[in-house]
Amino acid sequence: MTLLVFGQTGQIASELRRLAPDAVFLGRAEADLTDPAACAAAIATHAATSVINAAAWTAVDLAEADEAAATVINSDAPGAMARACADRDVPFVQISTDYVFAGTGTTAWQAAGPVAPLSAYGRSKLSGERAVAAAGGPQVILRTSWVFSAHGANFLKTMLRLGRARDHLRVVADQIGGPTPARSIAAACLTIAARLRDEPGLSGIQHFAGEPDVSWAAFARAIMAGAGLACRIEEIATSDYPTPARRPANSRLDCAGLAAFGLQRPDWRAGMTEALTELGAMT
């Protein structure tokens, strides 16, 4: 059986390479997401028996200036992939985001809950969800949040870099969510893809986020403590740190549906320790 993964160097793709080294991984040279037809053709070329899309436009703020380009990559390409998979009855896993929600309230967002993205990035990912769902076939859209790892650019690595250079950082405290280890997401994608082959009726939207839910400031403090850095974290409001793209204040995700796949929310603190150890930053 051939597992085909779109993506090579991103956080989740990097972890998939570790967990499924025999899979076929397609980077931009092999399947450019700005060319949806080429992505669909790759599925036929490689005779894929399962497909995971771990590639995306993830530059949230840059999407505000080029929503059309972000939408091609985050919507048109996965839609084409999903249709190619549905035509062949091949399980397809699409990774999505908490940014499809408005971020109001304090309760966890349910998979079937109302969506109202605040940003161009969120709109592009929601459009991708709808394109994938419309394709039919065995599929799971896996929404996740606050992804971190020892690879690529992410909050954990940014905090390490800044915490080593400064004795004080101001970090947003009124955005709440579940930091999620990329390694755990990769493992969940593999489990879901395998289950879909035998139980296509499990298709739909699922949430997968680390626990417990925390603020960015609390996450930053945990990183500093884990790395033995004395950098002090000052809590600030989102309004004190303006960005081009609006972020949801409430990114809590209801992950109850994971039980159908034998999965549960990962403890982000354990994932943080693994990432810090890999980076040689654990005390």
Is there a cis peptide before residue 212, judged by omega within 30 degrees of 0? yes
Position 197, amino acid: R
Q: Do residues 160 and 281 touch, judged by C-beta distance below 8 A?
A: yes
Q: Which of 99, 121, 219, 261 is labelled catalytic?
A: 121
Say how far apart CA 226 and CA 67 lie, in whole Å. Answer: 37
Alpha carbon distances (Å) from 76 to 7, 72, 137: 16, 5, 17
Say how far apart CA 209 and CA 251 lie, in whole Å. Answer: 10
User: The tokens of 281 are what?
Assistant: 């930053």
Say how far apart CA 2 and CA 10 lie, in whole Å. Answer: 20
Close Cβ partners of 181 (under 8 Å, ≥ 6 residues apart):
147, 148, 149, 210, 266, 268, 270, 271, 272, 274, 275
Say how far apart CA 100 and CA 169 lie, in whole Å. Answer: 29
Query: Would residue 241 show up in a list of annotated catalytic residues for this protein?
Result: no
Active site residues: 121
